[in-house]
Every structure is written in structure tokens, then in C-alpha cells.
Structure 1
Amino acid sequence: MQQKLIGFMGRNLLSRAYQELLGMSDLIMNNGLDWTIVRFSAPKDGPARGVNRYGFFGTNKIGIAVTHADIAAFTAVQLTDDRFHHAAPAISN
């Protein structure tokens, strides 16, 4: 449901930004390099709490909010962890 709502809002309320996001994602995914795109819905200030939920919209139960500190920490781990190699996981606290 969350993915459908975000997609609907992006396509209908922010269509130009949504198209730009799709274009950027396409450039990253089709450049021949190793990549991971970390997705999140509602970044917020605050101390790190740990990423408690991660996976893929429509497959795993992903929350909405995540702290900036946890986005940075999860992203940094992707440099050495290949679990999400060539994937775009979503994260939340």
C-alpha cells in the first residue's frame, strides 16, 4: 500500500520530479558499475536508532520514518556488504 501511495503521489502531484527520479535511477542501474540505491520515505533529525526494517516495497514490511544518521550508516555499510548489490532496498527505523 505504501509503495502504491508514494507512486501515485509522485506520478500525479510531482510528475516532473518523479520523472527525474526515474531517469536518475535508470542512469545508475544501467551504467555498468556496481550500485545500490537506498530508498527511504520520511527522513528526520535525531540520533541513530538503528535500521530496524529493510527490504523491498511490496515484499517486506517497511515503515516510513528513518533518521538521517541511520540513512548515512546504512549507506556506508553498503560499501562492503554485497547483500543489496544491484538492488534498491527501502529502510526505516
Structure 2
Amino acid sequence: MKQYLKKWLSLFLVTILIVSMIPEYVGLAYSDSKEAEEQQTDSEKETISTDNLKELKDKRTATTKTFTDEKGNYYKEIYAEKVHILTE
């Protein structure tokens, strides 16, 4: 009877150890794939035409233009050089 109990206990402990390693591996694999997807979406951003958007002139800076659409979403164009120069 003792030998049966020892076998059962050792089998139980081995099973628990194996099962406890699975979620850690799955979690790491999922986080790696999620980071790769985020990097792809950042590099593949869609270019939006500003022809049908309304410019918010009060949000202008020397190097940016801010637009809004009919849904209330904001879009900002950022330039390396000054595009708006204040003249007096």
C-alpha cells in the first residue's frame, strides 16, 4: 500500500510540475506575437487625405496643421520645416 501511495504521489507531483510550466510558455509566446503585430501595424499606417477634412486654424503651430472630420476625430500633419509664418 505504501508503494502504491508513493507512486501515485510522485506521478501527481510530476503532472503538477508539467502543467504549471504550460501557462508561462503560452503567455510568453502570446506576448511575443502581440509585439510583432503592433510593430507591423505601426509601420503600415494608412495615409489619410486631408482634402475632405476641416482645418482647425486655432490649433495651428509653425510646423503643424490639425484637422477634424465629421465624426469628431482629429488628425495632425507634422512638418520638419515651418509651414505657417506669422506676419504682422
TM (norm. structure 1) is 0.21
Higher relative contact order (CA 8 A, sep 6+): 1
User: Greater helix percent: which structure?
Assistant: 2
